[in-house]
Amino acid sequence: MHPCDLSHLSEGTIVEGTRDLSVRSHKVSSSTFRRPRYLLRVVIGVAAVIAGFLIARALTRYGLSQVTSAWQSIGIGRFGCAAAYAALSYLLLTGFDYLGLHYAKHPLSYPRAALASFVSLTIGHNIGMAALSSGAVRYRFYSRWGLNAEEVAKVVAFSGATVGLGLATLGGLALVFVPADAAEFTGLNSGWIVLLGCLCLLVPVAYCLAATFVKRRLNVWKWGFAFPSLRLAFGQLVLGTANFACVAACLHQLMLGVSELAYAKVAAVYVIANVGGLISHVPGGLGVLETTAHYLLQSAGSVPALIAFRLVYFLAPLILGLGMFAASEIAARWGGSTLAENSTQKPTEGPNRS
């Protein structure tokens, strides 16, 4: 008998042997990555606990009477408009990840990118250290869908660059075209305000030029990062600016419920307050955003509006994001256990063919 002749084996024996090899390789693969996965679960669990704590802390900080007062003073119509702008902002944020996946050269369907983006950013916005906290949640999602650590890091870096471009562009436009408002609450001369705005606008210009002409890769550890294509860079510029414009519009709608303020003034204040929150790394900028905005606006009506903004843009999406995250974990575990059961189930043997 020739050593490669398999004609004497039954079809059932061949299938069972192949299945056995598949199960063994699956066990080896699972044991190899078991520790990192458990560590990631611990990180995600801690993030969820911190997020829950922040909800309780924020509600305790403001109190039910203050929340009720804010709702009554602003009105349901303004709340509805603010919620619509907040929803549009989070919709634009999903584009960060969708383009980032193309930058990482591992594109996924939009629904998957949107799910990972929304859940990770609602948690990251509230916990602070967004690159780390939202990055851990992103890795949880994207590793299931075939991305490695370097590709996830590229998505996180791409998203962070988009945030910076949006802040610089919106802030620069507000300072250049409406310098009087910024001069009023900063005490600087209008000429200096315009100059500062022009410097801010140089950031997106320099980024697009680098995306066009700079082809060198920056090596970080074992990973290589390069500027995106001009098309992706332009997408970052549009999405980043539109996102922060919507966030400022959300705050502006709530401010209009208690005080007449120009949109450009609110936008400039929000950019400054948001930069302060990013630098401080306080979870969700809790207290930093409110203190900075209240100090710059010098309006008694800003307090209930800022409380309402915290509820509409941060806490409500966080509750929804945690629910979606829990549902996705249950679905993934259920799907994984079903797949494991199917892979270990012995097939019925077919007729012997010799």
Tokens 């030029």 map to which residue?
Answer: 209
Q: Above pLDDT 70, what percent of the chain?
A: 65
Query: How many C-beta atoms lie closer than 10 Å to residue 222's C-beta?
Result: 7
Which residue, 147, 42, 144, is CA-closest to 100? 147
Return d(Cα 71, Cα 59) in angstroms, integer. 14
- 223: helix, coil or strand? strand
Domains: count for the chain: 1
Looking at the domain assignment, is residue 301 inside a domain? yes
Q: What is the mean pLDDT of residues 42-68?
A: 54
Q: What backbone phi and psi angles, to 5 degrees, belong to 198?
A: -65, -40
Where do runs of H (alpha helix) occur along the chain? Answer: 11-32, 34-62, 64-74, 76-103, 110-127, 130-142, 149-177, 179-186, 190-213, 230-256, 263-280, 288-297, 302-309, 316-344
Q: What is the mean pLDDT of residues 104-131?
A: 87
What are the distances in angstroms from CA 65 to CA 82, 299, 304, 343? 21, 20, 11, 56
User: Each residue of 10-25: pLDDT tens digit?
Assistant: 444 444 444 444 444 4
Q: Which residue(s) pair with 124 in the sheet?
A: none
Give tens-digit pLDDT for 196-250.
899 999 999 999 999 999 888 877 777 778 899 999 999 999 999 999 999 999 9
DSSP 3-state of 178: coil
Q: Is 344 part of any domain?
A: no
| Chain Cα centroid distance, residue 54 | 18
pTM beyond 0.95, yes or no: no
Q: Residue 348 falls within a domain, yes or no?
A: no
What are 284-300's pLDDT values in tens digits? 555 556 666 666 566 55
Q: Domain for residue 347, yes or no? A: no
**Predicted confidence (pLDDT) at residue 57 exceeds the cutoff of 60:** no
Position 353 in a domain: no
- Confidence label for 277 from pLDDT (cuts 50, 70 and 90): low
Domain range enclosing 318: 39-339
Contact between residue 158 and residue 242 where contact means Cβ atoms under 8 Å apart: no
Q: Say if 354 falls within a structural domain.
A: no
Judged against a pLDDT cut of 90, whether residue 38 lies above it is answered with no
End-to-end CA distance of the chain: give it in Å, rounded. 13
Is 113 contained in some domain?
Answer: yes
**Whether the Cβ atoms of residue 122 and residue 320 lie closer than 8 Å to each other:** yes
Measured CA to CA, the distance from residue 272 to residue 170 in angstroms comes to 11
Strand, coil or helix: 351: coil
What are the angstrom distances between the C-alpha of 217 and each of 44, 107, 211, 234? 31, 21, 11, 20
Q: Is 28 among the domain residues?
A: no
The first and second tokens of residue 350, run together, are 């077919």
**pLDDT tens, residue by residue, 146-196:** 999 899 999 999 999 999 999 999 989 988 888 887 777 667 788 888 898
For 287: left if phi > 0, alpha if psi spans -120 to 50, otherwise beta; the answer is left
Q: Which residues contact 334 (CB under 8 A, 6 or more apart)?
A: none
Residue of 38 and 117 predicted with greater confidence:
117
- Distance between CA 245 and CA 256 in Å, rounded? 16
Cβ–Cβ under 8 Å, residues 110 and 98: yes
Query: Which residue bears the tokens 């710059």?
Result: 296
Q: Which residue has the higher pLDDT, 282 or 259?
A: 259
Check residues 35 and 327 and name the one with the higher pLDDT: 327
